[in-house]
Structure 1
Amino acid sequence: MNASLTAVAGLRVGHWSDPVARTGVTVILCPDEGCVASASFAGPSPGTREAALLAPEKRVERVHALVFTGGSAFGLAAADGVVRFLHERGVGHPTRMGPVPIVPAAVIYDLLVGEPVWPGPREGYAAAASASADPVTSGPVGAGAGATAGKYKAPVPTGLGSALARWRDLRVGALAVVNPVGDVYDPGGRLVAGHGDREAWMRAEPRPAEHTTLVALATPAPLDKREARMLAEAGQAALGRVIRPSHTPWDGDAVFVLSTGRGAAAPLAALSALVQEAVCAAVTAAAG
């Protein structure tokens, strides 16, 4: 049984990974008509592309893919390859000159983990071309290839994780790339990745802009952008349950919400609860 993000019908996920350089890119492809999307950004150091248009008041409603990548700001170029991949297939926001693909992207800083290599357009294109509806594999793959936790003391490898939360006919899928300065715990309080060293944390002076957790959430339930933003904020709250400390002055966490709109309407309160369950499970899977 598929218990990952791709259990939401219409979504496909692909990766490009460099296990030697320990970097990579992960692409989530939406149905051709796109997904209604919004996002929430917490912390002073997010690295993003096309983020402003996800605000509820902005005109563009749908995105056609979402890119998570290593390489810090350099890695944002991977989205160019995904734009080209979609353009070749006639997928995008309708304009008078033809469809224009809308592809938000977010990065983690993994430049000190392996070789000084980062994904670019070619790697983004390859990840998009490999995308499938198969269950998403958790571990050091794609954008999670160089992810680490516990960097207030010494980096501990984590990765990418995916999970699915269900209640009756409702479902929310999550995909997380876990790269925080803090430690990762499971919802029961067990240390999964990091050091659990409060004294070391209190004395630490981490470097800014090198620590980020990225989360993509998806549901078939129809949402507008305002509702998607509310669920993204619920996802941010869930990070505080499994990353300690979370949302620090050195983190730049980003949570995106995608709605395919292909399912039945659902109570926002129920979706919010599923969002938090899915985020906790995906982060734990990434770090385990």
Structure 2
Amino acid sequence: MIDIQFVDISGIKIGHAEDIDGVTGCTVVLCEEGASGGVAVRGGAPGTRETDLLNPMEMVQYIHGVILSGGSAFGLDAAGGVMDYLEGKGIGFDVGVTKVPIVCGAVIFDLAIGNHKIRPDKTMGYKACINSETTTLDLQGNVGAGYGATVGKILGPNNAMKGGLGSAAFQVGDLQVGAIVAVNALGDIIDPENNIIIAGALNEEKSKFLNTEELMLKEYDKKINRFSGNTTIGIIATNAKLTKGEANKVASMAHNGFGRTIRPAHTMFDGDTIFTMATNKVQGDVNVVGFLATRAMEQAIINAIKNCESADGYISYKDLAQMQGK
């Protein structure tokens, strides 16, 4: 098994777009030939688009793009730009009078950072598609859907840290499996190699992590609305030949990557969602694809945190380590 770039997975293109004033952005993964699609929604507060048609019982077999976006539910508008881009290239489900691109999507809540009136829209979604034409390297950190991401928000923004966008991918023989993720969790981010918190809720002095799960345990008997803008969303891309049912299974297995790196994951205040896009180029056992997807997802989450930059008062992993002399 070797490390590769997510962007090098056969059959896909990836593009990003951001707004500096809004501190928000979007990331699109395109498969113009069509990909077997799957999805698994585990969080209690999802914002999603076109997830029902990924049920294996539904008619449409292939999807053409998935967009991850900031802006909360407003950010779902960015998918319109992806549809315009693909329709302009004659790509989509043929309905006779035109071809309808099948574009799925999910959003994170990042309205509390930057100008909340500026959200990813149709224009930004189209721009991300244009940018996919020239993207040859994986971009991570304050990029695309991760531009306004934050983590460790159990006590609000003053104790939280910067999140971001991360990716990772592996190749075994001809099989390629990768993950891309916008990390915007309520909980803390854990390095699974040593079980240590690397980002999350901080004390007022920014000198130590408070441990979100321990804070929640102290108030186990209180029903508290902890909504402060969360959700981690991602995409598994693979060149494996998968059915829709298998693609859904891979998305489900990839949530183990969330469980290994985010504590707690899948809360009622997170809309944690993972899509699968399988470009159907090579044979690959679904079980192998699934556990590679899990490994890629956990590494992508760590990469997001370690590559982000401080923004709008939220300190990054890198700046915190420098401040603490590590």
- The bucket for the TM-score relative to the shorter chain is over 0.9
CA displacement 1:54-94 (0-9 Å, x = unmatched): 11111111111111111001111111111011111111111
Contact between 2:153 and 2:228, CA under 8 Å: does it hold in 1? no
**1:202 and 2:203 are equivalent in the alignment:** no
Contact between 1:40 and 1:233, CA under 8 Å: does it hold in 2? yes
Return the match for 1:276 from 277, 294, 300.
294
Counterpart in 1 of 2:4?
3
**Alignment TM-score, normalising by the size of structure 1:** 0.94
**Alignment TM-score, normalising by the size of structure 2:** 0.84
Shift of the alpha carbon at 1:20?
Answer: 2.9
Contact between 1:181 and 1:251, CA under 8 Å: does it hold in 2? yes
Contact between 1:110 and 1:147, CA under 8 Å: does it hold in 2? yes
Counterpart in 1 of 2:143?
141
One-letter code aligned to 1:127? A
One-letter code aligned to 1:91? I
Alignment CA distance shift 1:133-1:261 (3 Å): farther
Shift of the alpha carbon at 1:2?
Answer: 7.7
Provide the rounded CA distance (Å) in 1 between the counterparts of 2:81 and 2:189. 32
Gaps of 5+ in 2: 202-208, 307-326
Contact between 1:69 and 1:106, CA under 8 Å: does it hold in 2? yes
Counterpart in 2 of 1:230?
249
Counterpart in 1 of 2:124?
123
Shift of the alpha carbon at 1:147?
Answer: 0.5
3-state SS of 2:96 partner = coil
Provide the rounded CA distance (Å) in 2 between the counterparts of 1:254 and 1:147. 15
Return the match for 2:199 from 178, 193, 201.
193
Contact between 2:242 and 2:286, CA under 8 Å: does it hold in 1? no
Contact between 1:7 and 1:173, CA under 8 Å: does it hold in 2? no
Contact between 1:2 and 1:135, CA under 8 Å: does it hold in 2? no
Counterpart in 2 of 1:166?
171
3-state SS of 1:64 partner = strand
CA displacement 1:238-275 (0-9 Å, x = unmatched): 21000011111211110100100112x11122112101
**1:36 and 2:51 are equivalent in the alignment:** no
3-state SS of 1:139 partner = coil
3-state SS of 1:138 partner = coil
One-letter code aligned to 1:82? V
Counterpart in 2 of 1:48?
48
**1:212 and 2:231 are equivalent in the alignment:** yes
Provide the rounded CA distance (Å) in 1 between the counterparts of 2:128 and 2:261. 28
RMSD: 1.7
Contact between 1:4 and 1:175, CA under 8 Å: does it hold in 2? no
Return the match for 1:286 from 298, 301, 304.
304
Counterpart in 1 of 2:86?
86
Contact between 1:209 and 1:252, CA under 8 Å: does it hold in 2? no
Gaps of 5+ in 1: none
Alignment CA distance shift 1:206-1:165 (3 Å): farther
Provide the rounded CA distance (Å) in 2 between the counterparts of 1:177 and 1:234. 18
Paired residues in the alignment total 286
One-letter code aligned to 1:235? A
CA displacement 1:97-129 (0-9 Å, x = unmatched): 121111111100000011111011111111111
3-state SS of 1:260 partner = strand
One-letter code aligned to 1:193? A
Moved more, 75-84 or 183-192: 183-192
Residues 68-83 of structure 1 correspond to what in structure 2 (within 5 A)?
68-83=68-83
Structure showing greater Rg: 2
One-letter code aligned to 1:36? S
